[in-house]
Chain A
Amino acid sequence: MPRFDTAIGRYIYIGVDGVEYRVYFEEAGRGIPMLLQHTAGADGRQWRHLLEDSELQRDFRMIAYDLPYHAKSVPPLGVEWWRSEYKLTKDFLLKFVTTLSHELGLERPVYMGSSIGGHLATDLAMHHAEKFRAIIGLEAAISTPGGFDDQWNHPRISNEYKASAMYGLMSPTSPEKYRRETAWCYSQGAPPTFKGDLYYYSIDHDLTHTAEKIDTTRTPLYLLTGEYDWASTPEMSEELAKRIKGAKYTTMKGLGHFPMSEDPSHFREYILPVLREIKSS
C-alpha cells in the first residue's frame, strides 16, 4: 500500500483589485479553520510539518497557501507583470488574505504567519480583527527597516545567497536536516520575490505610531519569537507586545526565524498550548 501524506493540495481563483490569481494551497485536518502564511520569498511548504500533526488535525483545518508569484501560485495572466518590479504591499496582503478566507467560506478562521506573516498578523489585527477567531504572529515587530536591499535580487548573485543567509537566521540547535530543507526551499523562489516581499517587511509594515490602536478585545493576539532570530529579535517582539494591550508574548528558546520548519517538534511545544487555548475559548 502506498503511504500518503495527509495534506491535500488544490487551486483556487482569487480576485484582488480586478486581477485574478490562481492560488495554490494545501490543507489537512478538520474543525477550526486556520490560515498559515509563509515567510518572504518562500511558500506554504514551510508548514508541512504542522499539517502532518495528527493531534492538530483532529481540531483544526489547517490551510497553507502560496502567495501569488510564489511556488505553485504562478503570476497572474491578466497583467504584464514582467514590465515592472515586483513589490508586495500591505494593502495587497490584507485584501488577499481576507478574500482567500471569504472565497474558501471560512468562518472566523485562526490566522498564523511568520516573518512577513508575523507582521501581517498585527496588520490584520489592526484592520480586520473581527474576521478572525484569533491571530498568531511569529517573528513580528513594530518595524524591521533595512531589508529592501538590491543584494537580494542582483543579476550577479544567485538564489544560493538568499538560502545561505536564511540558514543563518535559524538556531544552531535546530536539527540540521530541517534547517537544510528550509534553506533549500529558499533557493527555489523566483529571483524577485524575496526582495519584493521585503518591501512589505521593511517599508510598508510600520506600527511605530499605531501599535497601541490594535484592540485585542476584538480578537486575541499571540506573539511568539525565536531566541536566535536576528531579523526580528525577541526584544523587538516584546517591545511590540508591550505596546498592544492584551497581547500575549512568548520567546521561543532554541528557535530562530523559521520555527515551524527549522524544528517542528520544538515549535510544537510552544504552539500547542496557544492553539489549545484558542480552541477552548
Chain B
Amino acid sequence: MSLFDTNTIASAANADGEFKLAARFWSAAIRLEVGSDAYLMRMREGRISEFSKADPSKWDVKISAPESDWRELLKPVPKPFYQDLMAAMTRQNFKLEGDLLGFNPYYRATCRLFELMRKAA
C-alpha cells in the first residue's frame, strides 16, 4: 500500500494558500524515493502539474529515504529529528540531491507539502 495518495496531495497543495505562496514561480521536477518506490512531482509555475508513481530518468532534485523513515516523518508528531527534512537529512537517513540552488528557495514549499502529506496520511 502506498504511503500517500498523490492525487489527494496534489489537489490539497494546489488549493493551499501557504503552499501557493511559497511555491510561486517554481518549475522543477522532483523525484521522491520511498524505499524502492519512485514518484515524480512536476512543478509548473507554482502548481503541481503532475504527481505520480513513476521512475523518471530526468529530475532536478531527488529526495530519498527508506520507507520506514518516510513513515516516521509523516506521523502527526514525528520523533525528534524527523520533524523536518533538514533534520532528517542531518540526523536520519534522508538524502537530498540535485540542483540545491534551484531547490532551496522552495524549501518552505517542500516543508508545507510534507505537512499536507502528514494531514492526508
Contact = CB atoms under 8 A, between A and B. Distances in A.
Contacts of B107: 160-161, 164-165
Interface in A154-184: 154, 156-158, 160-161, 163-165, 167-173
Given A157-B105, A169-B84, A151 B100 contact: yes
19 contacts: A154-B104, A156-B105, A157-B101, A160-B107, A161-B104, A161-B105, A161-B108, A164-B111, A165-B107, A167-B84, A168-B85, A169-B84, A170-B83, A227-B80, A228-B83, A230-B81, A230-B91, A233-B81, A256-B83
Given A164-B111, A231-B90, 18 more contacts: A154-B101, A154-B104, A160-B22, A160-B108, A163-B108, A164-B107, A164-B108, A167-B108, A168-B83, A168-B111, A173-B77, A227-B80, A228-B80, A228-B83, A230-B80, A230-B81, A230-B84, A256-B83
A250 to B, nearest CB: 16
Nearest to B78: A172
Contacts of B90: 230-231
Interface of B: 22, 77-78, 80-81, 83-87, 90-91, 100-101, 104-105, 107-108, 111
Q: How large is the interface on A (under 10, 10 to 19, 20 to 34, 35 or more residues)?
A: 20 to 34
Interface in A89-128: none
Contacts of B101: 151, 154, 156-157
A158 B108 CA distance: 11
B83 A172 contact: yes
Contact of A233 (B86, B91, B100, B105): B91
A161 B101 CA distance: 11
A94 B90 CA distance: 30
B108 A228 contact: no
A78 to B, nearest CB: 35
Nearest to A160: B108
Interface string A143-161: 0000000010010111011
Contacts of B105: 156-158, 160-161
Nearest to A152: B104
Nearest to A172: B83
